[in-house]
Amino acid sequence: MSDLKRIKPWLYEIPKSGGMRVPGRIYATPALMESQKADECIQQVRNVAHLPGIVDYSLAMPDFHWGYGFPIGGVAAFDADEGVVSPGGVGYDINCGIRIVRTDLDRAAIQPRLREIVKNLFHAIPAGVGSDGAIPTPKGEDARAIVTQGARWAVEHGYGTPDDLLHIEDGGLYPGADPDVVSARAFARGMPQVGTLGSGNHFLEIQVVDAVYRKDVADHFGLKEGTVCFSIHSGSRGFGYQVCDDFLKSMMQASKNYGIELPDRQLCCAPLSSPEAKRYLAAMACAANFAWVNRQVMTALTRRVLAQTLAVSEESLGARLVYDVCHNIAKFEEHGGRKVCVHRKGATRAFGPGHPLLPEAYRSLGQPTFIPGDMGRASFLLVGKEGSMRETFGSTCHGAGRAHSRTAMKRMMQGRNLFKMLEEERGVIVMAHGRDSVAEEMPEAYKDASLVVDVMEQAGVTDTVARLRPIGCIKG
């Protein structure tokens, strides 16, 4: 802790010491540094810096907090030839991510029916631990196609439009997926869960744009003040969890076999050139594709519910996908003329303007990224700037960052009418499957997301494009 150096108003550096191969860097202000378990998180940033082939820095975004091995909010790039891949650098919820869909509706058009919309969404989209049954369980060739084709499978089966695919990171397809390296148990757990929200901090929200800061980008994506949007935050459910769990075991063994010294067993990894790494990446790709199908199916269900509740056609909603991002993934990319495997765990890709991997329609603007806040305050649409390519391997933050533990929140919220608080104090109609999950996720549990996105803007990594306020929410 004592060796932390504040090198810019928004940036701390941890100098190289002991077995660290590179220094650490944490994007944060002093206020954001005073988070729960900050010392443990800083140690996790240090630990990651020990791994073979790490390039430049072990990074943490301003919403960083303690995670399995790597900190959540961590970004680390490993040389494609000499580096490693680590399941702990991706996380249990492989391709957890978020998407935002804009509509032609304004707040006045839905306000009278809002309670009914929330109720109908709550019944159409299963949520909570172990939830399933949103669509008939995909079997056989469909199950394999889901994990090899990603979002395209959903569109080809009536869930969404081809236009959606243009507004998903990498088109909603992670290449190199091999279903044969994924356990039968992952398929058995995951397939009944396609189109389900899950639990924890996952949600489906109805939101209204309440401020626009970059009109050029907002206009391009059809967002102006008063525009009704919905956003979906979910991941790869039991499928990704099982993949991670299965491969942590083989990676523990691989670390030993290849003689990799680990400051923490949870950083287990394998050289990118090894068969173990290739198998993990092929399985991780399956889970990434599963998560995109999951969010894509829920998007289609939401359009259906909105149209039915408002008694209008789906087309008339103008419900176009603005963007879908992953925030738990490892990807091969080129940075500084070098091929690296970028691990983003609770961090979002945010390529700067002109990046060749961005679709032409918005390449000149930079990559859009969506940052969920909490149930009561605001979420933010961002766009990548040049600084992200220079400093953070094309990455930015992913959320507000927790300020109080789940157990502390349950204690703090004891005996209070949470749904009434959210509706009367925050103006949000919430429906959830469990009272505890709402207590754990109350706005008070989180830091203000605006502080987090401000740090990334100060650093020249991302610009804030628009702010959205929640008016309806369903949760597990």
Partner DNA sequence: ATGTAC
241 in contact with DNA (CB under 7 A): yes
Q: Which of 31, 304, 319 is nearest to 167 (CA)?
A: 319
What secondary structure, in 3-state letters, does 114-171 show? Answer: HHHHHHHHHHHCCCCCCCCCCCCCCCHHHHHHHHHHCHHHHHHCCCCCHHHHCCEHHH
Of 50 and 189, the one with the shorter C-beta distance to DNA is 189
CB of 197 to DNA, least distance (A): 8
- Of 65, 202, 343, 398, the catalytic one is 398
Query: What is the C-alpha separation between 214 and 219, in angstroms, rounded?
Result: 9
DSSP string of 355-386? -TTS-HHHHTT--EEEE---SSS-EEEEEE-H
CB of 137 to DNA, least distance (A): 14
CB of 382 to DNA, least distance (A): 20
Of 90 and 350, the one with the shorter C-beta distance to DNA is 90
- Which of 65, 107, 152, 189 touches DNA by CB under 7 A? 189
Q: Report the site for DNA in 200-239 (rule: CB under 7 A).
A: 200-202, 234-235, 237-238
Tell me whether residue 398 is one of the annotated catalytic residues. Answer: yes
Residue type, 200: G
Residue with the two structure tokens 């650098």: 89
CB of 79 to DNA, least distance (A): 28
476 in contact with DNA (CB under 7 A): yes
Q: Report the site for DNA in 79-138 (rule: CB under 7 A).
A: 92-93, 96, 129-130
249 burial via Cβ count (<10 Å: 0-12, 13-18, 19+): exposed
Of 174 and 203, the one with the shorter C-beta distance to DNA is 203
Bridge-based pairing of strands 338-345 and 379-384 is unpaired
353 in contact with DNA (CB under 7 A): no
Upper half-sphere CA count for residue 111 (Cβ side, 13 Å): 7
Total residues binding DNA (CB under 7 A): 23
Of 246 and 463, the one with the shorter C-beta distance to DNA is 246
Q: Encoding tokens for residue 223?
A: 């967002």
Q: Which of 261, 138, 253 is nearest to 188 (CA)?
A: 138
CB of 346 to DNA, least distance (A): 9
* Interface residues toward DNA, by CB under 7 A: 68, 92-93, 96, 129-130, 185, 188-189, 193, 198-202, 234-235, 237-238, 241-242, 245, 476
Catalytic positions are 398
